[in-house]
Amino acid sequence: MGVPASLWTFTALFAARVAGQAVQRWTPQPFLPPADAFQGSNLPYPALLGAQLVILAVMIAVAWRVQRGAMARKPGAGRVLGWLGAAYMAFALGRIAIGLSMPGAPDWFRAWIPAFFHVVLAGYVLAISLYHRGKPAS
């Protein structure tokens, strides 16, 4: 899978989370987890939704520019994003590991849906890093 396809896949996954949470907030469906399962913080839902929509808009804009070849490759930015993405991924996976290994871990470590989507966002940052460094995502 190339970088543009990876970016669109991560974007679609994040959009599904935002949509699922919105559906459960306003018109709950029995086939989806409860709305609280999507919440990983104490941030009020309107603020969380606003932040998620901004993130989603940036993800779409970047993926679109990469797909069209309209984003200049910057190897230095790729290195910085690689380090930031790796740190973000380590943090996200560490959160999941703590939640799995410590039965008494605080709720934040056991909020699986938000934890998974931090892995998705970290993957997006790493894919952008690969793009800037001129490497295929595989």
**Concatenated DSSP letters of 63-77:** HHHHHHT-S---HHH
Q: What is the pLDDT of residue 59?
A: 98
Average pLDDT per run of 10 along the chain, which is 138 residues long? Answer: 94 97 95 89 92 97 96 96 98 95 89 94 97 80
The Cα–Cα gap between 66 and 125 comes to: 13
Query: Which pTM was predicted?
Result: 0.92
The Cα–Cα gap between 102 and 118 comes to: 20
Q: What is the pLDDT of residue 42?
A: 86
Q: What is the pLDDT of residue 69?
A: 92
Q: What is the pLDDT of residue 41?
A: 85
The Cα–Cα gap between 125 and 27 comes to: 32
Q: What is the pLDDT of residue 137?
A: 66
Q: What is the pLDDT of residue 130?
A: 95
**Where along the chain do its domains lie?**
3-132
